[in-house]
Amino acid sequence: MQRTYPQWRQYLTLFKIRFIAGLQYRAAALAGIMTQFAWGGMTVLLYRAFYLADPAAFPQSFEAMCSYIWIQQAFLAIFMVWGMDPEPFNLIKSGDIAYELCRPVSIYWMWFVKSSAIRLAKAVLRCMPLLIFALLLPEPYRLILPDAGRLLLFAVSVLLALVNIVAFTLLIYISTFYTLDSTGLRSLLSTLAEFLSGGLIPLPFFPDSLQRVLALLPFAGMENTPLQLYNGTLTGSQAAFGIGMQLLWAAVMIGTGVVWMRCALKNVVAQGG
Amino acid sequence: MIEVEHLCKTFTVSRRDAGIRQAVSALFRRETEKIRALDDVSFRIEPGEMVGYIGPNGAGKSSTIKVMSGILTPDSGVCRINGLVPWKQRKEHVRRIGVVFGQRSQLWWDIPVIDSFMLLKDIYRTPDAVFHKNLSQLTEMLSLQEILRTPARQLSLGQRMRCEIAASLLHEPAVLFLDEPTIGLDAASKLAVRDFICQLNREKGTTIILTTHDMQDIEALAGRIILIGKGKILMDGDIEDFRRQLSPVRTVTVSVRKFADMVLPDGVQLVQKQGETGGRMIFTTDTGKVAVPQLIGLLSEKLEMYDLSVENVSMDALVLSLYRKYQI
C-alpha cells in the first residue's frame, strides 16, 4: 500500500477543503465587510480629529495612518488573534479528539493547516470590496498603493504574520488539554496580543522605550510589521529586522507547539463513550 | 494479530459531597480517588476473528478500544497489533485500522459526505484504484448512492452511521474497531449494519472487535465474547459456552384448550398461567435434570395442546446473570 504518495498532499487537501468550506459562507462575509467598512470609517474619522488638533504630535502622516487602517480592516480575518476556529476547543472538551487521533497525520500540523485555511479564506472573500472602496476614496482618506517592491515585501510579511498568529493560537489550543476550558486564557491572551501587536493603536504611537521592547516580542510581527511595511514607515534595516523577528518567533512558537502537543497527547484521556 | 498482555490504566477522579461547605473545603483539600479502568487485561485475537467485547457501563470497554486504537497510553502492559505498539507508533498503526465510535462523528458536518470521503482518501494516502474500488463496493453494500452528496448534518442517524462505517473502511483496514455501532438506530438500520458487518468479515476477512450493549448485536455477530467488569477480564469464550455454563434453563410455552393439574418433576417449574380455564402456560426446565423433549412428552400426555414454543434464555437475561455472578 505504501506508494510514492507525498505526505504534504494530506495537508494540502486539509487546507483545500477548509478553504473551500470557508468560501461558502456568503452572509457572514457580507456582514463582516459591512462591519469593517463602518469600523474603518469610524477609526479614520477619529484620527482625523486628533490630526486636526496637532499634526506634528504624531509619528506618521495622516495619509500613512489611513492606509494602515484600511489594510488592517481588509485583512482583519488574518490579523484578529481572537477570531479562533472554535473546533479544536470543542474537540478537546467533548472528547471527539478521539477521532482526530485515529488519523495517520500529526494533530499539530492538521490544526495548523486548518486554522490558516480558515483565516485565509475569510480574508480572500472579504478583502476585495474593501480594498476597491478604500482606493477610490478622496484624498487624504484613501488607501495609497505602494510600489511593487513594497507590495511584495508586504505580501511576504502578511503570510509570516499569519504563521505567527496561527502558531500562537495553537499554543492556546494545546493549553486546553490541561485546563479543559480556555475561555479565560483565551480572552486574556488575545486581548494582550491585540494590544501589543498594534491592533488597537499602531506601535509607533507607543513611548520609545516601550517600542524597543515591543519590537522584540512575538506580537509586533503579527500585525504591526506587515502594516508598517505597507505604508512605508518601516524601511531598510528596520524592515529586515522586522521580518527577521517574524521568522524567529515563528520558529520558536512552532517548535514549542510541536513538542508541547506531543507531551499533551501522551496524557490525553478521551472520556465517555 | 492482536496481542494484549497485562494492560493497566488508572484514572484519578475527584470527589466531593454536595453543599457549599464541602465545595469551599474542596478548594483547599481535594479528595481524589484512583479508579482502575484496566486491571491486568490480557487476550489474543487472531486475524479474521469477530469478537464481541461486553461489560456494563464503566467496565473498561472503551478504554481498551482507545488503547488499541492508539488514543490512550496505558500505565503498563503490552499491546501489539500486527507488530506495532499503538501509542508509540500511532501514525503507522492507525493507517492500518478503522475505528467507528457510535457516539461521535468523523464526518465533517458542513460538507457533503463524498467530500469527507475524498479528504479521508488523502489523509490515509489511499491509492486511487483502491479507493474507487472500495467506495463503489461500500456504496453498494450500504446503499449510500442517494446520500453521498448530502452534508452530514442533514442525514438521519441511520444514514449517518452507514456513512461513518463506510468512512472507516475506505483505506481497507485489516482491523476494525466498532464502539457501539448500533446505538440509537431503528430496527431496519440495525439489521442493515449487522448484515454489512457479517459480510465484511466473511468476504474480506477483516478482524472485527465490537463493543455494544445490544445483545442482539452480539448474538448476530460475534462468535467469541470477552466479558470485562471493573477493569478485569471475567470470561472469554464462544457464545454457546456462555449459554451452557450460565444458563442450562429453557423456557417452554404451551397453549392448551383446558388447564389440568399435574405433578411436575424436579427441575421443572410452572412460572405463569394466562387465561381462565384454558390458555397459555409457561414452564422453565433445568436441562441438567429434565431435557426439553422429555418435558414436552410429559406435557402432551396430560394436556391438549394446540401450540408450543421453546426458547433459550435471552442474551440480556444471560448477561444480567453474568453481571450478578461477578458482582459488577
- Chain A contact probe: residue of B82, B101, B165 with most A CBs at under 10 A: B101
Residue A140 and residue A264: Cα distance in Å, rounded?
A: 52
Chain B environment of A121 (Cβ under 8 Å): none
Q: B176 to chain A nearest CA, in Å?
A: 12
pLDDT at B289: 83
Same domain (yes/no): B137, B186:
yes
Residue B55 has phi, psi (to 5 degrees) of: 160, 160
Same domain (yes/no): B235, B252:
no
Instruction: Say whether B72 and A13 touch across the interface (CB within 8 A).
Output: no
pLDDT at B1: 87
Q: How confident is the model at residue A2 (pLDDT cuts 50, 70, 90)?
A: very low
Query: Coil, strand or helix: which one is A206?
Result: coil
Chain A environment of B94 (Cβ under 8 Å): 101-104
pLDDT at A273: 40
pLDDT at B246: 64
Residues A186-196, mean pLDDT to the nearest whole number: 91
The CATH code of the domain that includes B253 is 3.30.70.250
Residue B109 lies in a domain: yes
Residue B107 and residue B152: Cα distance in Å, rounded?
A: 6
Same domain (yes/no): B123, B35:
yes
In chain B, the number of structural domains is 2
Residue B318 lies in a domain: no
Residue A70 and residue A136: Cα distance in Å, rounded?
A: 12
Chain B environment of A102 (Cβ under 8 Å): 69-71, 94, 97, 99, 106
Residue A273 lies in a domain: no
Chain B environment of A96 (Cβ under 8 Å): 104-105
Question: B123 — contact with chain A (CB < 8 Å)?
Answer: yes
Same domain (yes/no): B225, B256:
no
Please report the sign of the dihedral spanned by the C-alpha atoms of residue B220, residue B221, residue B225, residue B230.
negative
The CATH code of the domain that includes B27 is 3.40.50.300
Same domain (yes/no): B24, B165:
yes
Chain A environment of B119 (Cβ under 8 Å): 13-14, 17
> By C-alpha distance, which of A231, A226, A260 is closest to A245?
A226
Cell 490525553 found at: A268
For residue B34, what is the DSSP state? E
Question: B11 — contact with chain A (CB < 8 Å)?
Answer: yes
Which B-chain residues 148-207 have CB contacts (< 8 A) with chain A?
172, 179-180
pLDDT in tens, B92-122: 999 999 999 888 888 888 788 998 898 899 8
Residue B323 lies in a domain: no
- Chain A contact probe: residue of B108, B125, B169 with most A CBs at under 10 A: B125
Chain B environment of A21 (Cβ under 8 Å): 108, 110-111
Cell 529586522 found at: A241
> By C-alpha distance, which of B157, B127, B161, B156 is closest to B142?
B161
Please report the sign of the dihedral spanned by the C-alpha atoms of residue A273, residue B6, residue B9, residue B10.
positive
- Between A3, A269, A273, which is nearest B101 by CB? A273
Residue B324 lies in a domain: no
Chain B environment of A101 (Cβ under 8 Å): 69-71, 90, 94
- Chain A contact probe: residue of B123, B124, B171, B211 with most A CBs at under 10 A: B123
Residue B37 lies in a domain: yes
Same domain (yes/no): B238, B254:
no
pLDDT in tens, A42-79: 999 999 999 998 888 888 889 999 999 999 999 999 99
Instruction: Say whether B71 and A105 touch across the interface (CB within 8 A).
Output: no
pLDDT surpassing 60 at residue A208: yes
Same domain (yes/no): B231, B195:
yes
Instruction: Say whether A13 and B122 touch across the interface (CB within 8 A).
Output: yes
In chain A, the number of structural domains is 1
- Between A12, A17, A270, which is nearest B66 by CB? A270
Residue A2 lies in a domain: no
Residue A159 and residue A120: Cα distance in Å, rounded?
A: 9
Residue A272 lies in a domain: no
Residue B71 and residue A106: Cα distance in Å, rounded?
A: 13
Instruction: Say whether B104 and A104 touch across the interface (CB within 8 A).
Output: no
Cell 460475534 found at: B222
Chain B environment of A10 (Cβ under 8 Å): 122-123, 125
Q: Kindly state the cell numbers that stand for A103.
A: 488519523
Of B243, B270, B301, the position where a domain reaches its end is B243
For residue B177, what is the DSSP state? E
Residue B32 and residue B16: Cα distance in Å, rounded?
A: 9
Question: B8 — contact with chain A (CB < 8 Å)?
Answer: no
Cell 486548518 found at: A114
Question: B214 — contact with chain A (CB < 8 Å)?
Answer: no
- Please give the residue range of the domain that contains residue B50: 2-243
Same domain (yes/no): B236, B266:
no
Chain A environment of B111 (Cβ under 8 Å): 17, 21
Same domain (yes/no): B142, B283:
no
Residues A34-44, mean pLDDT to the nearest whole number: 92
Q: Is B103 exposed, middle or buried (0-12, 13-18, 19+ CB in 10 A)?
A: middle
pLDDT surpassing 60 at residue A4: no
Report strand pairing: B2-15 vs B31-45: antiparallel
Same domain (yes/no): B197, B131:
yes
Question: B94 — contact with chain A (CB < 8 Å)?
Answer: yes
Radius of gyration of chain A (CA): 20
Under-50 pLDDT residues of chain B: none
Question: B103 — contact with chain A (CB < 8 Å)?
Answer: yes
Count of alpha carbons within 13 angstroms of residue A210, beta-carbon side = 10
In this prediction the ipTM stands at 0.70
Same domain (yes/no): B212, B258:
no
Cβ–Cβ < 8 Å for A56, A155: no
Residue A3 lies in a domain: no
Residue B44 lies in a domain: yes
Instruction: Say whether A13 and B70 touch across the interface (CB within 8 A).
Output: no
pLDDT > 90 in chain A, percent: 53
Instruction: Say whether B115 and A17 touch across the interface (CB within 8 A).
Output: yes
Of B243, B260, B294, the position where a domain reaches its end is B243
Residue A140 and residue A231: Cα distance in Å, rounded?
A: 14
Instruction: Say whether A17 and B69 touch across the interface (CB within 8 A).
Output: no
Residue B50 lies in a domain: yes
> By C-alpha distance, which of A172, A196, A187 is closest to A79?
A196
pLDDT in tens, A141-174: 999 999 999 999 999 999 999 999 999 999 999 9
Q: A15 to chain B nearest CA, in Å?
A: 10
Residue A40 and residue A130: Cα distance in Å, rounded?
A: 10
Answer whether the bond into residue A104 is a cis peptide, omega within 30°.
no
Q: B214 to chain A nearest CA, in Å?
A: 15
- Please give the residue range of the domain that contains residue A144: 8-267
pLDDT in tens, A84-112: 988 898 888 887 888 888 888 889 999 99
Same domain (yes/no): B211, B173:
yes
Residue A211 and residue A213: Cα distance in Å, rounded?
A: 5
Residue A123 and residue A77: Cα distance in Å, rounded?
A: 5
